[in-house]
Amino acid sequence: MGELLRADGDALRALAVTIRGRADEITAVAVATPFSEAASAMPDSATGSAVAAAAAPAEVAYTTVAAKIREMAAAAESSATSYEETEQLFRSQLSRYRDGL
């Protein structure tokens, strides 16, 4: 695939699998744990309160990054399919030109 467009659909799909795996790894991180442990170690301090308050935004950030990486994976898969479809259309058109149609 990809002789005319020089695109490698298999490589794009492999990229999608790899980066989706990284998104899964990010999602699996227990982001809140170190925050809650640190806050528990300083129960009556302003620092402990600040650390506790930082847990939710950190979780949102990790979730957002993982979602964006999944979007990248979907784009890579979609690109592979799109390149293959376009390649086939180009080949068909070229064949018709060669056959004088």
Look at residue 63 and tell me whether its pLDDT is greater than 60: yes
Answer for the pair 82, 88: CB distance below 8 angstroms, yes or no: no
> Does the pTM exceed 0.85?
no
Average pLDDT in the chain: 92
Greater model confidence, 67 or 88? 67
Flag whether pLDDT at 2 surpasses 60: no
Give the pLDDT mean for 48-53: 95
pLDDT over 70 percentage in the chain: 94
Query: How far is 89 from 40, CA to CA, in rounded Å?
Result: 62
Q: How many of the other CB atoms lie within 10 Å of CB of 96?
A: 10
